[in-house]
Structure 1
Amino acid sequence: MAGPEADRSGGVDPEALWSRRPQPRRGRPPAHTRAEVTAAAVAIADADGLAAVTMRAVAARVGVGVMSLYSYVPNKETLLELMIDRVAGDQPTPPAPTGSWTADLRVMAHAQRDLMLRHPWLPAALWEQQTLGPNTLAFTEHVLAVLEPAGFDGQGALEVFSLVTGFVASHVGYEVARERAAARAGRTPRELAEARGRYLRAVVASPDHPRLARILAEPARSADPDATFDRLLGHLLDGLAATRGAREG
């Protein structure tokens, strides 16, 4: 027999979630708030990953029965929307646009990466996002202001925002996966990378991989994660600037 979580799964109603005020309930006032439930879910995801966020686990952390939890959030999909918007509000207030849209996008992307590294479940959660809460909308409005000097049309600006966010989410997902792989191997990410480098240099000593051998013989670029992210982000921003016919810092 399916449990209560399976019975109550469903889509997200953005109007009910963000626009309608909760109706007062009869009887005793609720012992907790939706914000407390959301904070509990975020804490579970931060500690154990998104898969650990079940209605049962959240109810246990809050200290209520599973069925009681549904009086605060109707289903897990809605809870995920609340989690995403809550952590989006954890970002520092972004600086005012400077007019250099590529420089401002770089600042935005680094802020996104910092947020996702603090909440490693967020990149995967974004692919399941169905609506935009108030914190997400505020950040979107800021990015659209940043992009105004570039001259993108409205849909084009949203596509650029999506492209940069997708890059950040993908890169952070890769970083987190590498750290977990290294931990499973009992090594640091740097130690694992060095072992991989030794293996590749031994393999390409044969004449079968001349191009790869030439690349590996070149001076190594910085392995610092921040520098790597910034370098790859720069390639993306240079490409976007080229579509506008101007390169910026």
Structure 2
Amino acid sequence: MSRNLPLSPAAIAAAALRIADADGLDAVSMRRVAGEFGVSAMALYRHVADRSALLLLMADAATKDYALLPARDLSWQETLAHLADAQWRAFTAHPWLLRIILTPRRLVNMATPDEVELVLSRLGSAGLSEDEGFDCLLGISAAVIGTASITAAAHFGAPGKADDSDPSGHPHWTPDAVEQHPRAARFQAQGISYSGSRRSLDFFVANFIAGVEQQLTQAPGAPTRPVSRKEENETQQ
């Protein structure tokens, strides 16, 4: 309880974060948070505009211990690896954070402008174009968000929805079908765990970085990467 603490945006966000960690994001309401301080919901509105603003404050509070960039200088490779690690640790510590990040109609950016600028400047200094830097930043973040979302859904159900269905009961995964596809069966049987998902994420990130390194070390004029469908269409026009 926070009854002895003065109201402030930081204190309100901290109380809401504790509620979300204990009971999930749907349990967070202005009235529930106000009850933590022994005040009415109206008292919170002097410090927080509405629940949407509160969710953003919660996201900031949840990620403050997982700095996307450490204080020390890193190579661009270490920067991307650290970015993936920091996001993964934040999402696994607070699975409800994924629902705030993946807000309908827009993606909430956890990073601060100076963090994004530093990541992109390090990628630029390595020899990547600005668009390639954007691709790296978005690619790594998408891999983390996707992996964390799948893992959280496997353990807590789809965000915001109760799902009592049994995935093994899908018509594609009948015993006869599984018996005919042993590798697929072993993949299905291993399930989704946090340790397994982290292993998969580390594999992706390491090979993503290795691919970028290979592109940067290609001899001038040599093919550096596959042409994207968009680029192919633009060339044909």
- TM-score normalised per structure 2: 0.66
Q: Is 1:203 aligned to 2:177, yes or no?
A: yes
Give 1:166's aligned amino acid. Answer: A
Percentage identity across paired residues of the two chains:
27
* 1:187-206 superposed Cα distances (whole Å, 9 cap, x missing partner): xxxxx99999xx77752434
The equivalent residue for 2:50 is 75
Q: Is 1:177 aligned to 2:149, yes or no?
A: no
Q: 2:65 aligns with which of 51, 75, 90?
A: 90
How many correspondences in the alignment? 201
Q: 2:143 aligns with which of 167, 183, 187?
A: 167
Equivalent pair of 2:124/2:130 in contact (CA under 8 Å)? no
The equivalent residue for 1:38 is 13
1:79 deviates by 1.3
1:124 deviates by 2.0
Taking the aligned partners of 2:202 and 2:169, their CA distance within structure 1 comes to 24
SS in 2 for 1:232: helix
1:46 deviates by 1.7
The equivalent residue for 2:202 is 230
1:113 deviates by 0.3
* 1:107-127 superposed Cα distances (whole Å, 9 cap, x missing partner): 220121011111111122112
C-alpha distance 139-201 of structure 1, shift in aligned 2 (>3 A): farther
For CA contacts below 8 A with separation 6 or more, give which structure has more relative contact order. Answer: 1
Equivalent pair of 2:13/2:54 in contact (CA under 8 Å)? yes
* 1:23-66 superposed Cα distances (whole Å, 9 cap, x missing partner): xxxxxxx9311110011111122222222221111111232211
1:216 deviates by 5.5
| 1:102-141 equivalences in 2 (<5 Å) | 102-128=77-103, 136-141=112-117
- TM-score normalised per structure 1: 0.63
C-alpha distance 38-217 of structure 1, shift in aligned 2 (>3 A): closer
Taking the aligned partners of 1:131 and 1:195, their CA distance within structure 2 comes to 35
Give 1:205's aligned amino acid. Answer: E
C-alpha distance 94-241 of structure 1, shift in aligned 2 (>3 A): same
* 1:77-103 superposed Cα distances (whole Å, 9 cap, x missing partner): 21122122222221256153433x234
Give 1:170's aligned amino acid. Answer: G
The equivalent residue for 1:151 is 127
Taking the aligned partners of 1:31 and 1:217, their CA distance within structure 2 comes to 55
| 1:52-67 equivalences in 2 (<5 Å) | 52-67=27-42
The equivalent residue for 1:22 is none
Give 1:160's aligned amino acid. Answer: C
Equivalent pair of 1:37/1:58 in contact (CA under 8 Å)? yes
Give 1:45's aligned amino acid. Answer: A
* RMSD, matched Cα: 4.0
The equivalent residue for 2:235 is none
C-alpha distance 156-41 of structure 1, shift in aligned 2 (>3 A): farther
1:145 deviates by 4.3
Taking the aligned partners of 1:97 and 1:195, their CA distance within structure 2 comes to 50
C-alpha distance 201-148 of structure 1, shift in aligned 2 (>3 A): farther
Taking the aligned partners of 1:43 and 1:229, their CA distance within structure 2 comes to 28
Segments of structure 1 that go 5 or more residues without pairing to the other structure are 1-29, 186-191, 207-211
C-alpha distance 95-39 of structure 1, shift in aligned 2 (>3 A): same
Taking the aligned partners of 1:241 and 1:193, their CA distance within structure 2 comes to 39
